[in-house]
Structure 1
Amino acid sequence: MHQISPEDLASILSGDPEELDVHLQLVEKDFPIKDCSARFHCHCLTVDANGRVKPDRLAEFMRNAIVNYAIPKSRLDEARARDAKYKSGSAVAALHHEALGTFTDLKNSGEGGEMLLYLLAERFLKIPQVLCKMDLKTDSRVHYHGADGVYASVNDDGILKLFWGESKMYADPTAAVRDCLSSLAPFLIEIDHEGANRERDLVLLSDKADLNDPNLTSAFKKYFNKSSTLSNRVEYCGIALIAFDASFYPPNSVKAVADQVLKAAKNEIEKWTKSVAKRLCAEKLQSFDVQFFCVPIPSAEGFRDTFFEKLGINT
């Protein structure tokens, strides 16, 4: 195997895409951003038949997927095989416990946003994670220095599109857009050299990438071998996510109406996309393929606390 096909990468996706729809309602998909190559996607929390939004359920859904996020694919596959052989669940359960231990207990942690980005990248965009950053952490109380995630797809011309992920979960959407794209920009626009922000992740991709198949992993790593011509067939792209406070969700004691929440979110799309377009231009990212996720929630701080509560972590 020399070059990787779209089917190769699709084969390593994990999880049921429809499960995402239980917790997140699609507001807008592939919304164009004026004068930019970026595409804008918006989700809000679903409203159930009782008129409730359930951020706790979203947090539990995220918690239940942490093994796929935080454990390399080959290790998880080995654990599944062992459990199948011995008709047990202990090997995967042990990895779940290990995955929990990789999350930090720092109060200002952005790992909830990073986890949400992972789920939307894999289950909505169908772009798989190719570098498991949580497995690279040497201390759970220290954030991994690099992008919030690394994902990859292959286009029809055989170009490997490498997506650097960045997420911010703030109360204010404008601040979230600013800081998210400011953090993402160096990974896309810097010239390749040893001091570039992306260099450490590129080195790790050439060594630590895990696509759950030795031949596929070997072929993938060739794209990051500086002595291989395939290294010239990598396009740098971005996946950005912001989650922020939205006032259109009613208080807990008031029933929400799904259509009204959806309509309120749609009414804000133009304002949000203008803010994103302005920042993309300021960061010189107009020509880059950036998949931008916008997730308005009742409270960014409240959701961060809820997510870590579900993980059993006291912040």
Structure 2
Amino acid sequence: MTDPNTTLADALATLINPADVDDYIRCAVEYVLDPEVAPPTSLLHPRFNEDLPGISDLAGFLWKQCFYYALPRRKQKKFLAAIARDPSMIMETARTVQSAFMDFSQKNPSRSSEVGEVIAYTLVQHLLKAPQVAAKMALKTSANMPVHGLDGIHARFEDGAMTVFFLEAKLTRNANAGAKAYAESAKEFLSNRSQYLREYDIVADMGNLDDLQGDAREAALEYFDVVGKKRVQRRERYVGVVCYSEKRVYAEKIPIGSGPIDAHENHFAERLALLKDRYRKAALKHLKANGADPAKCFVFFLAVPDVNHLRREFYTAMGLPPPPDLPEDDDEDDDEEVIEQVENA
């Protein structure tokens, strides 16, 4: 007899979309599940092209992932079938995905941060092996409006338990600012019961679980019926994905030479790894200050040289006019302790 738990786990795993994440993003520090060092924290960075981080390559990869991120599964299948009949439908597919993203607003540049949400989708699917169960971009009635509520909902079933991951993506000037913004968003969500129930309704009524079949689909839906199935147990975890400008560590360069081609990337990864405890403790401080349980949180920090550059490259990859140069918002919240940790290593 087939174990129903195995069936559900396997069924959910079919919702994981293909993505060669390791070709574009490297994990310098992997997260560890240890209650003594909560929250689980990972430090990541773009892959290098010799001595230069591949920001344009990363932006292009993220744009391609938008097909999976922005479109619900049934619409993905519709477009794939149309492309199989007529390859020129690739153009219409790209236009549809592109139209879901907001134009850049000079008055409100922080709203043009949907690249952060795509990063969050990609990393949670890759690191936590948890597929997206609701394509929230599809809920927008206008491209030039943000998606309200959470930035993403993912889920994984293992060891007889469903874990639901609530995502918050932040694009910020430094790691501390991102950790603070994530913790404040978590507090806002946790204190809003109606929004909490709404997120579950989105998955149950309009999510990707419709792509599952038979008993597996019904079993999965039960875990997202928080009103009618009160006794169904689930774990809930709050994931913060912080893409931030790590200018100081990128400035710690080594000379260009004829040695191993990955020497520069390895050097950067080693220097970045030294900051793990500081960034984890910053997240811990902000989560506690906002009443969140750090044991129920994950924090992933993606270090790029300049978040505004990544934002521009993402718009360019989409074929949209990139935002103009944005002013540096460079409050030195990370102070001299960062420099001391790197220099004293």
Q: TM-score range by the shorter chain?
A: 0.7 to 0.9
Q: Is the 1:37–1:286 contact (alpha carbons within 8 Å) kept by the matching residues of 2?
A: no
Q: Distance in 1 between matches of 2:71 and 2:213?
A: 17
Aligned position for 1:27: 28
1:10, distance to aligned residue in structure 2 (A): 0.9
Task: Check if 1:203 corresponds to 2:201.
Answer: yes
Aligned position for 2:267: 260
Q: Distance in 1 between matches of 2:234 and 2:266?
A: 42
CA RMSD of aligned residues (A): 2.7
Task: Check if 1:147 corresponds to 2:150.
Answer: yes
1:78, distance to aligned residue in structure 2 (A): 2.9
State the structure with more CA Rg: 2
Aligned position for 1:101: 99
1:243, distance to aligned residue in structure 2 (A): 1.2
Name whichever of 199-208 and 209-218 sits farther off. 209-218
SS in 1 for 2:52: coil
The verdict on how the C-alpha distance between 1:131 and 1:277 changes in structure 2, with shifts beyond 3 A counting, is same
1:96, distance to aligned residue in structure 2 (A): 2.5
Aligned position for 2:72: 72
Once the two structures are superposed, what CA deviation does each residue of 1:290-309 show, in whole Å capped at 9, x if it has no partner? 22111111001221122122
In structure 2, list runs of 5 or more residues that go unmatched.
257-262, 324-345
The verdict on how the C-alpha distance between 1:287 and 1:297 changes in structure 2, with shifts beyond 3 A counting, is closer
Matches within 5 A, 1:80-159: 80-84=80-84, 86=85, 88-105=86-103, 106=105, 107-108=109-110, 109-156=112-159, 158-159=160-161
Q: Is the 2:116–2:243 contact (alpha carbons within 8 Å) kept by the matching residues of 1?
A: yes
Q: Distance in 2 between matches of 1:103 and 1:251?
A: 35
Q: Is the 2:132–2:152 contact (alpha carbons within 8 Å) kept by the matching residues of 1?
A: yes
With normalisation by structure 2, the TM-score equals 0.80
Matches within 5 A, 1:186-225: 186-187=188-189, 189-190=190-191, 195-211=193-209, 212-215=211-214, 216-225=216-225
Aligned position for 2:40: 39
Name whichever of 147-156 and 283-292 sits farther off. 283-292
The verdict on how the C-alpha distance between 1:162 and 1:293 changes in structure 2, with shifts beyond 3 A counting, is same
Letter of the 1:289 counterpart? K
Q: Distance in 2 between matches of 1:303 and 1:13?
A: 25
Q: Is the 2:113–2:171 contact (alpha carbons within 8 Å) kept by the matching residues of 1?
A: yes
Name whichever of 102-111 and 2-11 sits farther off. 2-11
Q: Is the 1:113–1:167 contact (alpha carbons within 8 Å) kept by the matching residues of 2?
A: yes
Q: Distance in 2 between matches of 1:251 and 1:209?
A: 45
Quick one: which of 289, 296, 299 aligns to 1:289?
Answer: 296
Aligned residues between the structures: 305
Q: Distance in 1 between matches of 2:35 and 2:219?
A: 37
1:214, distance to aligned residue in structure 2 (A): 4.7
Q: Distance in 1 between matches of 2:297 and 2:198?
A: 21
Q: Is the 1:33–1:273 contact (alpha carbons within 8 Å) kept by the matching residues of 2?
A: no
Aligned position for 1:279: 286
1:287, distance to aligned residue in structure 2 (A): 5.3
Aligned position for 1:233: 233
Task: Check if 1:178 corresponds to 2:180.
Answer: yes
1:124, distance to aligned residue in structure 2 (A): 2.5
Once the two structures are superposed, what CA deviation does each residue of 1:260-281 show, in whole Å capped at 9, x if it has no partner? 2011101111211110111222
Aligned position for 2:336: none
Q: Distance in 2 between matches of 1:227 and 1:62?
A: 36
SS in 2 for 1:202: helix
Q: Distance in 2 between matches of 1:127 and 1:207?
A: 19
Once the two structures are superposed, what CA deviation does each residue of 1:91-143 show, in whole Å capped at 9, x if it has no partner? 45422220110000133222111000111111232110001011000011100
Aligned position for 1:164: 166
Once the two structures are superposed, what CA deviation does each residue of 1:33-71 show, in whole Å capped at 9, x if it has no partner? 7746531111112223x3221101100000111111101
SS in 2 for 1:138: coil
1:8, distance to aligned residue in structure 2 (A): 1.5
The verdict on how the C-alpha distance between 1:2 and 1:34 changes in structure 2, with shifts beyond 3 A counting, is closer
Q: Is the 2:244–2:304 contact (alpha carbons within 8 Å) kept by the matching residues of 1?
A: yes
Q: Is the 2:63–2:317 contact (alpha carbons within 8 Å) kept by the matching residues of 1?
A: yes
The verdict on how the C-alpha distance between 1:32 and 1:280 changes in structure 2, with shifts beyond 3 A counting, is farther
Letter of the 1:23 counterpart? Y
Q: Is the 2:8–2:220 contact (alpha carbons within 8 Å) kept by the matching residues of 1?
A: no
Once the two structures are superposed, what CA deviation does each residue of 1:165-188 show, in whole Å capped at 9, x if it has no partner? 00111112211100112102343x
In structure 1, list runs of 5 or more residues that go unmatched.
none
Q: Is the 2:222–2:232 contact (alpha carbons within 8 Å) kept by the matching residues of 1?
A: no
SS in 2 for 1:146: coil
